[in-house]
Amino acid sequence: MAKPSRIASSNEITASSTRELLNQDLAKKVRTAYTRLEERGMSACLFGSQGTCCKNCNMGPCQIIDGVESMVGICGATADTVAARNFARTVAAGTSAHTDHAREMVRGFIATAKGQTPHEIKDVAKLHKMAALFGIATEGRDKNEIALELGERALAEFGQQDGTLTMLKRAPQKQQKIWKDKGVEPRGVDREVVEVMHRTHMGVDQEYKNIMRQAARCSLADGWGASMLSTELTDIMFGTPVPKRATIDLGVLREDMVNVTVHGHEPLLAESLCLAAEDEELLAMAKKAGAAGINLAGVCCTGNEILMRRGIPVAGSFIQQEMVLATGAVEAMVVDVQCVMQSVAQVVKDKHTDIITTNYRAMMPDGVHIQFDEHDAYASAKKILTRAIGNFKKRGPHYIPKDKKFDVVVGFSHETINYMLGGRFRQSYRPLNDNIINGRIRGVAAIVGCEHYKHADNVHEIIAKELIKNNVLVLATGCAAQALGRVGLMRPEAATEFAGESLREVCETVGMPPVLHVGSCVDNSRLLIALTEMVHEGGLGNDIAELPAVGTAPVWMSEKAVAIGQYFVTSGAHVIFQDLPISGAKKFSDFILKGLKEEYGACWGVASEPLDIAKAMIAAIEEKREALGINKKKERVLMDMAMRREIEAGKGVGGMGCGGGKH
Ligand code: BF8
């Protein structure tokens, strides 16, 4: 099929679903981000993109040129100071998004423990594990009582002023010592964000390394604080993900059903919608309207949350949010917070679709606001679905690319990875570590983060294919995970089709895909735990920095991605992005790309082409293997029957095998 003519080659659309839809007459009438990008042009402001535009006070904005005395800021701020301030503010903004999300989840968790929501404490084993970490007694206590104490303790960590965050204790000892020695242990989640904002205010911190020290502390408050609290408490409340089969892409929309898409990040409402979508009264109402039922489908990270835990299909990732609506087949898009483009309400202005905003923090012109009340969650969900059902009969011309849906196996929480390879009776990361040590798996790579319209939509695919071809196991989150699911890399068969020989052998034996879906963006905290488990298991060094592990958020869009990248770097994991706003400040950019390694054992990297990113990731992994002394045996290690049996003992995750159960 020909590429839609309005798309520039640098941001080529390769997704067959998107192309098919954009070629339909009804979609051609819709203005999308691709249209706007073409109309606005794509050239970025040089100062902004290089990190040297300062607009933190009203003497400016000052555009700084590094090394030119007359082109420092009016206040005298240099390029390094300004770029560091801007970078730190990006980390703080990203952290604040994860933090505010996490706080809502903790509040929902407390309400659940009090019996005020339709949810319940599901994962009692994880509840006890977390309680032990927080020093909360469990013996003889009711699960809700423990959960309430845990929730209140967790909530207190947001506003805590002194001390350190509890979750830091989960990190490898060596990592903890580095943080202590460098003075970057976060004291309280909110405090670190506020302090970044203060220190980057006009006339406060003028030293780029010192500014970055606070950015590092803030990022840890995100990864090991807010995000990890959110992931773990959400798991306890809604269930820790286990492997499940599901489907991804525009074709998951149903011709015969009321289509309701949930978009955003906080799964509290989405979980309530999942319950209400099975409500007899609503189903009868849908039938009366001529629909066979209610079809919930996810978009972005709310989509990832219910995909991971319930196997609910995903209709589209960030760059597809307008496409989902352009089908004309969606009765309501229910949005909460983050990554929701204002354009969605305009895409549907001539359609029957409602954009339903549900959170007082996130309203939108032309949206319909139905405030989600966590204490009356079921009623809120019913109200929303009733409205969507009412729209079904009004559905006008529409087009669903029906055959564009791809099978995925999802649900690879770090607990799943633990017993997937370790087996039900010997849950551990030992087999993973052993397979890395013997070279069947060269290392692990995280592909996380966003998509955006300035690059082709197959960047993640190119990187992932190169990695797995070179026997690197890929773990994915966020929209990157959805992009990889959309190209069939999250099916077990993808190992046979795309993986190198030795990775293929491991995947085939266990029945897992070579690219594992680990969750939403806050679930990058699962990767921190997985890396820590690998360290604790032994044989791969004493801290995360020694592991043959590397990460990328190649086409980052959101500030959250930079916060994530920074907490991985501060935790010792090398991270490569496609670009960063640092190049206008020489000393600062050297510090980010090299200097940070001396402080935390890892630094940022930049490579503009997807294949170069993959090659840099493989090189980083091989360098770590070399340093660990596990590269001595280069010859291929064939699996004998004993090895095979050993790994097969791990088969049967949750009684379903990694092929998962059909939702
Ligand atoms: O938190 S990957 S575009 S949806 S920011 Fe947004 Fe980026 Fe998608 Fe999820 Ni994460």
pLDDT tens digits along 132-148: 999 999 999 999 999 99
What pLDDT, on the 0 to 100 scale, is given for residue 647? 57
Helices 641-648 and 501-510: crossing angle in degrees, nearest 10, is: 50
* Position in ligand 1 atom list of the atom nearest CA 265: 9
- Residue having the nearest C-alpha atom to atom 4 of ligand 1: 300
* Position in ligand 1 atom list of the atom nearest CA 300: 4
Q: Calculate ∠ Cα 304-306-309, nearest 5°.
A: 105
Q: Going by DSSP bridges, is the β-strand pair 258-264/244-248 parallel, antiparallel, or unpaired? A: unpaired
Q: Is the pLDDT of residue 428 over 90?
A: no
What pLDDT, on the 0 to 100 scale, is given for residue 457? 93
Q: Is the pLDDT of residue 586 over 70?
A: yes
What pLDDT, on the 0 to 100 scale, is given for residue 632? 72
Percent of the chain scored above 90 by pLDDT? 87
Q: Which residues, 6+ apart, have CB-to-CB distance to 59 below 8 Å?
A: 73, 74, 75, 202
Mean pLDDT of the chain: 93
- Residue having the nearest C-alpha atom to atom 3 of ligand 1: 450
* 198 and 204 Cβ atoms separated by less than 8 Å: yes
* Position in ligand 1 atom list of the atom nearest CA 560: 5
What pLDDT, on the 0 to 100 scale, is given for residue 661? 35
CB 560 near ligand 1, within 6 Å: yes
Q: How confident is the model at residue 593 (pLDDT cuts 50, 70, 90)?
A: very high
What pLDDT, on the 0 to 100 scale, is given for residue 613? 97
Please tell me the distance between residue 557's alpha carbon and the centre of ligand 1 in angstroms.
Answer: 8
DSSP-derived letter for residue 227 is I
The alpha carbon dihedral of 142, 148, 150, 151 has a sign of positive
- Residue having the nearest C-alpha atom to atom 7 of ligand 1: 450
* 157 and 166 Cβ atoms separated by less than 8 Å: yes
pLDDT digits (tens, 9 = 90+) for 174-219: 999 999 999 999 999 999 999 999 999 999 999 999 999 999 999 9
CB 449 near ligand 1, within 6 Å: yes
The shares of helix, strand and coil residues in the chain, as percent rounded to the nearest 5, are 50, 10, 40
3-class secondary structure, 9: helix
Q: How many CB atoms lie within 10 A of CB 292?
A: 13
pTM to 2 decimal places: 0.94
Q: Mean pLDDT across the stretch 320-336?
A: 98
DSSP-derived letter for residue 292 is S
pLDDT digits (tens, 9 = 90+) for 26-77: 999 999 999 999 898 877 889 999 999 999 999 999 999 999 999 999 999 9
CB 554 near ligand 1, within 6 Å: no
DSSP secondary structure string for all residues of 518-553: EESSTTHHHHHHHHHHHHHHSSS-SSGGGSSEEEE-
Q: Mean pLDDT across the stretch 408-425?
A: 80
pLDDT digits (tens, 9 = 90+) for 252-311: 999 999 999 999 999 999 999 999 999 999 999 999 999 999 999 999 999 999 999 999
Q: How confident is the model at residue 8 (pLDDT cuts 50, 70, 90)?
A: very low
What pLDDT, on the 0 to 100 scale, is given for residue 44? 81
Q: How confident is the model at residue 416 (pLDDT cuts 50, 70, 90)?
A: confident
CB 315 near ligand 1, within 6 Å: no
CB 521 near ligand 1, within 6 Å: yes
* Position in ligand 1 atom list of the atom nearest CA 301: 9
Residue 638 in tokens: 């064939």
Q: Which amino acid is at 432?
A: L
pLDDT digits (tens, 9 = 90+) for 610-660: 999 999 999 999 999 999 999 875 555 556 666 666 655 544 333 333 333
DSSP-derived letter for residue 264 is E
- Residue having the nearest C-alpha atom to atom 6 of ligand 1: 339
Residue 76 has φ and ψ, to the nearest 5°, of: 100, 0
Q: How confident is the model at residue 11 (pLDDT cuts 50, 70, 90)?
A: confident
Closest by CA position to 477, among listed 556, 387, 392, 398:
556
Closest by CA position to 151, among listed 119, 195, 186, 185:
119
Q: Is the pLDDT of residue 18 over 50?
A: yes
Q: Calculate ∠ Cα 172-192-583, nearest 5°.
A: 85
* Position in ligand 1 atom list of the atom nearest CA 339: 6
